[in-house]
Structure 1
Amino acid sequence: MRTKQVNLLISFVAVTLFSFSCFCISKLTQTYNQLISCRSHVLEFRENMLHLKNKTEHNRLELLRALNQMKYEITLKENVSRSLDEKTVTPRENETESNRFEALKFFLPHLRQVSRIYPDVIISKGKTNVTFALGISTVNRGTQSYLKQTLNSIITRMTPSEEKDSVVIVSVADSNEDYLKSVVDMITKRFKRQVKSGSLEVISVPAFLYPDSLHGQQPTEVSEFKSWQRKQVLDFCILMLYAQSKAIYYLQLEDDIIAKRMYFTKMTDFLHNITSNNWFYIQFSVLGFIGKLFRTEDLPGFVQFFLMFYKDKPIDWLLESLFQAKMCDPAENFRQCTTRLKEVLIQHKPSLFQHVGIHSSFPGKEQYFKDPVLEPTVCTAAGAQDSRSRSGAARAQEDAHYSGSVAVEPLAAGAHRSRLWPPPPHRWLPLAHARLAVAAGRLPAGLVWGDAGTKWQRVGHLSCHCRKQTRKTGV
């Protein structure tokens, strides 16, 4: 009996333990499933938080970009309003400026529906009544820019009195707002004193001033180059019209040149030493349209001629054509006309400006144009030219300062460096200044593109006898 009770007790305990184990296992399984579900919810929540974080960061960047754009536009508006507040002009002067740009409507029919034609003034103190206005038109050249070294050369080589009696105008002829912003930032940071005194101004050419014909429906390489030339003529004309009311004389420059030391003083002295006042224009460089000095009162006539034929020729060719049309008699032959041009053309020797830009403003084009008369040369019996008026170290230091740090390999013992050092690559590049140089009765030094069957000719290294023969034959 007692044994039976013990067995029943043991059985009861075993059943109880088994039931409790099953209950615990069931609870553990349920708890595990709940943990798995919670883990899934936690992972989903984490993904949502990461998505929200990325979206928040994107929105923050968008807001910062919009804020910076608003700040930039506010700065531009403040500069414009400040220049307008400080500029005291009478209504008659405003009307004159408006009428001056109204002349564009005659040659550009798409502007006849525009109420007011005037470039956007970005930085200006309204400086007027000075002797010289220096105009520089600039466009985006991609990764390469020469504008900073050009302005550094032009402005730092003026004396304080010369800077006070002049105004440098930079015209941004590019629709790229990022490039305009970079130019404005560079000028306001690098040339604070000149901006504050009003000696340095920045304008922008609105896109609506250009005709739609500059952008063909099916552009080719030839049509794009033609459009680039036509746009360049329009850019120069707009800059000339803007600068007309600011000074007595206007000097045309480009954004990839450097100026010679004391160029402003030499230019002023040369102008004062001219006995006759009956001059057409004065050139301080034979390259293209660089270094051409005009009277501002004559600028409307030049602009009208340029606009009349802006679709046909580059602006330096148009200037030469206008010079021949005004100075040559219809009864004269070409040789007599060339002789007359040599007598009338006023040129400063040596040139005061040198072209340093290799990357052209036309995409994909490289140019190695150099002014052949930047320094006086001596023709020796062997035909060599010596243009070193100062030590090579001084010239290298100056060139490195104004045209960037360039490593030049030293010459071997007994070697001589020519003016064509380093030599340009073997290219067929037409030089516009060669025609002007030959018309003036001299040969350009350096490499010149010859006729269709010729290649580069080292005209600058011919002997004196060869120079004479070349002038006679024209080859």
Structure 2
Amino acid sequence: MRPRQIVKLVLLLLGVALVNIALLMDALFFSEKFKSSREMFETFVKINAEKKGWLERAAFKQQVPPSIQHGNEIRKEMEAKASDANIFEPGLLSLLPHLVSVDTSSLEPLLFTNRNRTRRKIAFGIPVVGRKTSYVLQTLHSLFENLEEQFKPDVVFIVVFAYANVTVESFSDLIELMKTNFTAEIQTGLLEIAAIPNTWYSLDLNAIQPTFNDSAERMRWRTKQNLDYIYIMNYGRKRAEYYMHLEDDITATARYG
């Protein structure tokens, strides 16, 4: 047989073989008769792919020395603490002229309880200002009693004292009452107590010009309230994924959580 004829015969046999392979693959992957075989093949491929990915991740982790792994954990914890400490977004203080040249460390909140290490789902911010009659203790009792147990690990109540002068006697007395009445809530991290530092209020409220025919007293009160809310909301957004603002004289409905 001539070489050219041999080549033609080989090509013919190869073509027939490819056609048979194509028919077999079609039957295997598209025929209902071989459905179970096809599913077994797909499962085998999936398991091997997952196993390969797991082995690659494990091998990479083994290549990283324990000291570096521990260092990465410490670095992440330090970054979280730094992010939590810096409660103001860059550029925010430039919008408040009386704070432009202030050392930001003097704007950190005054903490009277431990701060949760973990960020919770929702933070309730409750500002407390000086008034003749305080309702915040009743408000907290109502909030805690009507909150279902299953939601407590996801919630933090942040009571923030917005006193322009934190040396007044009523300020310290009220904090002691809170710490005495809500010891369990403080220990579990459900309640945090803080105060806005005096530096935040280093603004001459008497120099503000009245607008919309408001009295000077109302202008001072409204400006002070705006400063309170700016601080509390910025602090609260760092403590949880969501933030809700509450007043200190409310009554919670049953099962409000």
- Residue 194 (structure 2) aligned to one of 191, 194, 203: 203
2:112 corresponds to which residue? 122
| 1:118–1:89 distance in 2 versus 1, CA, 3 Å | farther
Aligned to 1:410: none
Question: Which of 224, 240, 244 is residue 233 of structure 2 equivalent to?
Answer: 240
Q: Which residue of 2 aligns with 1:408?
A: none
Question: For 2:157 and 2:147, how far apart are their aligned partners in 1?
Answer: 11
Map of 2:177 onto structure 1: 186
Residue 218 of structure 1, CA deviation? 11
Contact 2:208-2:220 at 8 Å conserved across structures: no
For residue 106 of structure 1, report the CA deviation from its aligned partner.
1.1
Q: Deviations over 1:76-104 (max 9, x none)?
A: xxxxxxxxxxxx97332343345442544
CA distance change for structure 1 residues 222 and 263 in 2, over 3 Å: closer, same or farther?
same
Aligned to 1:93: 80
Instruction: Kindly indicate whether residue 152 of structure 2 is the aligned counterpart of residue 163 of structure 1.
Output: yes
Deviations 1:211-266 (A, max 9, x none): 423234999x81121111111111111111111122121111000111111111xx
Question: Alpha-carbon deviations, 1:411-447, whole Å to 9, x = none?
Answer: xxxxxxxxxxxxxxxxxxxxxxxxxxxxxxxxxxxxx
Aligned pair partner of 1:135 in 125, 128, 145: 125
Kindly indicate whether the alpha-carbon contact (under 8 Å) linking 2:109 and 2:195 is maintained by their aligned counterparts in 1. yes
Which residue of structure 1 lines up, in the alignment, with residue 23 of structure 2?
A: none
Q: Is the contact between residue 127 and residue 246 of structure 1 (CA under 8 Å) also seen in structure 2?
A: no
- Indicate if the aligned counterparts of 2:87 and 2:238 stay in contact, CA closer than 8 A: no
The letter for the 2-side match of 1:91 is: M
Partner of 1:106: 94
**Once the 2 structures are TM-superposed, how far is the Cα of residue 163 of structure 1 from its aligned partner?**
1.6
Residue identity opposite 2:190 in structure 1? S
How far 1:150 sits from its partner (Å)?
0.7
Please give the residue correspondences for 1:416-435 in structure 2 after superposition, counting only pairs within 5 Å: none
2:60 aligns with: none
- Contact persistence 2:136–2:249 (CA under 8 A): yes
Compared CA separation, residues 227 and 122, structure 1 to 2 (3 A): same
Distance 1:99 1:164, change over 3 A: closer
Q: 1:96 to 1:256 in 2, by over 3 A?
A: same
| Matched AA of 2:147 | M
Contact 2:123 2:243 in 1 (8 A): yes
Q: Output one character per residue of 1:29-70: Cα deviation in whole Å (capped at 9) or x when no partner.
A: xxxxxxxxxxxxxxxxxxxxxxxxxxxxxxxxxxxxxxxxxx
| Moved >4 Å (runs of 4+) | none
Conserved 8 A contact 1:127-1:198: no
Contact 1:133-1:167 at 8 Å conserved across structures? yes
The yes-or-no answer on 1:148 pairing with 2:115 is no
Instruction: Provide the rounded CA distance (Å) in 2 between the counterparts of 1:189 and 1:99.
Output: 30
Q: Structure 1 counterpart of 2:100, which letter?
A: R
Count residues with an aligned counterpart: 175
2:82 maps to a residue whose letter is E
Q: Tell me by how many angstroms 1:160 deviates.
A: 2.0
TM-score (norm 2): 0.62
**Structure 2 residue aligned with 1:252:** 245
- The within-5 A match list for 1:218-297 is 222-264=215-257
Q: Secondary structure at the match of 2:116?
A: coil
Q: Which runs of 5+ in 1 are unaligned?
A: 1-87, 265-475
Answer 1 or 2: which has greater helix percent: 2
Partner of 1:25: none
Indicate conservation of the 8 Å contact 2:122/2:240, yes or no. Answer: yes
Asked which structure has the greater RCO (Cα within 8 Å, sep 6+), the reply is 2
The answer as to whether partners of 1:134 and 1:250 remain within 8 angstroms in 2 is yes
CA distance in 2, matches of 1:89, 1:230: 38
Q: Report the AA paired with residue 155 of structure 1.
A: F
2:7 corresponding residue in structure 1: none
Q: Aligned equivalents of 2:111 and 2:145: distance in 1?
A: 24
* SS of corresponding position for 1:235: helix
Residue 11 of structure 2 is matched in structure 1 by: none
CA–CA separation in structure 1 for the residues paired with 2:240 and 2:85 = 18
Q: What is the TM-score when the length of structure 1 is the normalising length?
A: 0.34
2:162 match: 173
RMSD between aligned residues: 2.5
In 1, Cα distance between equivalents of 2:81 and 2:140: 29
Residues 90, 215 of structure 1: alpha-carbon distance in 2 compared, 3 angstrom cutoff: farther
Residues 266-286 of structure 1, C-alpha deviation per residue, up to 9 Å, x if partnerless? Answer: xxxxxxxxxxxxxxxxxxxxx
Does the aligned pair in 2 maintain the 1:216–1:223 contact within 8 Å?
A: no
- Separation (CA, whole Å) in 2 of partners of 1:236 and 1:218: 21
Q: Which runs of 5+ in 2 are unaligned?
A: 1-74
Find the aligned partners of 1:155 and 1:113 in 2 and give their Cα distance. 41
Aligned-partner Cα distance in 2 for 1:93–1:109: 29
Is residue 212 of structure 1 aligned with residue 200 of structure 2? no
Residue 258 to residue 229, structure 1, CA distance change in 2 (3 Å):
same
SS in 2 for 1:132: strand
